[in-house]
Amino acid sequence: MTEFGFFIDPSRCIGCKSCENACAECETHRGYPMIQVDFIDRANSIATVPTVCMHCDNPTCAQVCPADAIKKTDDGVVQSSLKPRCVACSNCVLGCPFGVPKMMSAIDQMMKCDMCYDRTSTGKRPMCATVCPSQALAFVPLEQIKRERKLKPTNVFHFGKQKVTTKVFMMVPETVDEISVDVVDYMWEREEEHEASASI
């Protein structure tokens, strides 16, 4: 069976929030979306961006969880916290480099996108990527998206010294291989200089 990947292309996003509304229909967290769409800077632009869980290969949220409540299933999906274990400390909320997990204070539990586990585990596509009218969120085979789109997928991100690889792909310009959000990563520094400043 062809393996499907999850792809995010913010440049296609039209801010319609169809994903948010559809996400709230999901069986496991009905009424609450686990995805969000934001204007980047409405005063200056109509650009919007969807945020979904990137499903890290080595998830920071799970690493920082003192209760070992966040599990990754064999298929690479990082699940919401386990209710019996979650102590609602919000470490995961603070620790996630992508800012994804949400503390549901009403139920004292962290919940997050589980890539529509009820759907994807039975061969369906996730709700958000199925309904997304601009296909800014897409759930298709990797080969297909490489073939059909100008942008290319990457799943390697740098946050300072932390390198994160993810199950979810971000669509980036052809010249980009890995995404870094730190200017330092693009700077020239001597080895000792880098070591010294990196420890600060």
Name the site residues for another protein (rule: CB under 8 A): 11-18, 20-22, 24-25, 27, 30-31, 42-48, 125, 127, 130-135, 148-150
User: CA 76 to CA 85: how far, in whole Å?
Assistant: 20
Name the residue nearer to another protein (CB basis): 53 or 132.
132
Name the residue nearer to another protein (CB basis): 1 or 200.
1
Paired with 7 in beta bridges are 138, 169
CB of 99 to another protein, least distance (A): 21
Token readout for 184 is 């330092």
CB of 125 to another protein, least distance (A): 7
Q: Please answer whether residues 46 and 15 qualify as being in contact, where contact means their C-beta atoms are separated by less than 8 angstroms.
A: yes
Name the residue nearer to another protein (CB basis): 96 or 140.
140
CB of 200 to another protein, least distance (A): 38
Q: Are strands 36-39 and 4-8 parallel, antiparallel or unpaired?
A: unpaired
CB of 77 to another protein, least distance (A): 20
List the end-to-end C-alpha distance of the chain, in Å, as a whole number.
Answer: 48
Q: Are strands 162-172 and 152-159 parallel, antiparallel or unpaired?
A: antiparallel
